[in-house]
Structure 1
């Protein structure tokens, strides 16, 4: 239900994420004629499988999609090897367009942005996971998330993610992983999405996530990846606070973006230029 497809044809190259589970079609990158891409998207969305289309567009590509009824939901600076990505979205149903929690999420965001930034000096021992930790990581994610946009409860999926370049870091206690996060690295675009942040309910007062994010930032800098961003649940005060206090800037909100935690949710974009650390 979730597959990547790379289109290469005369006048168009595009990386397409077909996400049947979250009922969305996402264009992560494209070069060439936007009209040909639009024709492809229209054909793919003729069925009722998809309710939302997202195109990550450069500025000079975005005007075409405005004309086709897309709206700008947010963006990430330096996403495309230093160039900004604009997250252009088109909703195919009224239900997918309308959020039930927008006002509450605005209140959460305003409260988060009133917090002071923090300097984090890690006192935790943080490890970089290998494939042998896939089972423990899957167990953690299965406990924390009833629903998740990707099948992280499956150890084989975790292993495949690692093989694709995703970096997982974790904290353990008595030989058991209690908190983890990852960085999904795009070598072609030179960016990384910080994601898969989870802490067992029995350890959530420990403030582990800030230490894990700092560790991931260090791993990314060693790989010359300077553009870091995340897409956090807009209803989560804690996760949005973590990124704000670590110096990430708010970059917009994606309405009804994916199924996570217990329902379809809006997601906030946060971004940071690691070269300024």
Structure 2
């Protein structure tokens, strides 16, 4: 899942690197032709925009026409090296324009030799020992200006991250607690209100309850008995990483700083169960989405163009990570990685 952290009604102004005021607005991915942007339509949910999950060999793949992608979500080493080409063939056969893969460093060379490029690097993603990479291959060439606006967002986020920010205490009427499968209907209702599109069926209570019985740890802010905001940590227990994702706040509670509290609570839980690395994927041109991670100690790992259809359009997504086990983070903004066979 991917975390957008919605702009707060697109009203807040941030200062760019040049000193000019920048008003945060939603911008879809610049590199995606209009005919591939998909149709948000009349907010029809019920899995309409979700990827299909399937096994390709022994590896797990997400794919679908609305997100216009094949995405290697979990690689089984037994499928290397052939899966790099099989994933491209799947995309061609289904008419998808983009292919993404999240893989450990030793597998990178096989993907690069098949035409993929590294877009983000997360140090020690796998068990705190082996770097992880997001790689991408595009059937439609990227436009030369696809990065427009992203550098300013990152500069503002990283400046605010260097300054840091203390967590504001919750008002007495609010509590931040773990959610349970019994909360799934309420969580799904919030997702219906917040997201026009999302790559997995978070608007389906049965999906949420099923995932929460496995490795999805959901947390929520409650206003008395009412759930006002939610977020989740999708855990890979074998690899000891967690994706911080699914941030959603009801419109009437936006601007209360709930995302910060949710993120810190989830990190504390992840440390307690031995998770070594947390990461998040945020809309690259959203100031609030990137600022929240920079302020909380995350490091920018790279940007993946045209990554997913979220909030009604295909979006470029920035990857952020934080080491939870005391390791030193790599310098920010670096995406250098392997260039040959591993």
Tell me, yes or no, whether TM beats 0.5: yes
> What is the TM-score normalised by the length of structure 2?
0.74
Give 2:82's aligned residue: 36
Give 2:306's aligned residue: 256
The partner residue of 1:23 within 68, 71, 88 is: 68
Deviates more, 1:41-50 or 1:129-138: 41-50
Counterparts of 1:217 and 1:16 in 2: how far apart (Å)?
A: 27
Give 1:273's aligned residue: 323
Give 2:197's aligned residue: 147
Counterparts of residues 171-210 of structure 1 (less than 5 Å): 171-210=221-260
> What is the TM-score normalised by the length of structure 1?
0.90
* Displacement after TM superposition at 1:99 (Å): 8.1
SS state at 1:68 partner: coil
* Displacement after TM superposition at 1:121 (Å): 6.3
Deviates more, 1:19-28 or 1:206-215: 19-28
Deviates more, 1:188-197 or 1:36-45: 36-45
Counterparts of residues 47-196 of structure 1 (less than 5 Å): 47-81=93-127, 82-94=129-141, 97-98=142-143, 102-115=147-160, 116-120=163-167, 122-123=169-170, 125-196=175-246
Counterparts of 1:264 and 1:99 in 2: how far apart (Å)?
A: 17
Change (3 A) 1:119 1:276: farther
Structure 1 portions without partners, runs of 5+:
9-13
> In angstroms, what is the RMSD of aligned CA positions?
2.0
Change (3 A) 1:276 1:118: farther
- Contact 1:119 / 1:246 at 8 angstroms: preserved in 2? no
Q: Deviations over 1:134-193 (max 9, x none)?
A: 111111111111111222111112112212310110011142211110000011211100
Structure 2 portions without partners, runs of 5+:
1-50, 328-342
Higher strand share: 1
The partner residue of 1:238 within 260, 263, 288 is: 288
Higher helix share: 1
Give 1:11's aligned residue: none
- Larger relative contact order, structure 1 or 2 (CA cutoff 8 Å, min sep 6): 2
* Displacement after TM superposition at 1:241 (Å): 0.6
* Displacement after TM superposition at 1:98 (Å): 3.7
Counterparts of 1:139 and 1:91 in 2: how far apart (Å)?
A: 35
Aligned residues: 270
Q: Deviations over 1:116-149 (max 9, x none)?
A: 2224365352111111111111111111111112
Counterparts of 2:146 and 2:140 in 1: how far apart (Å)?
A: 18
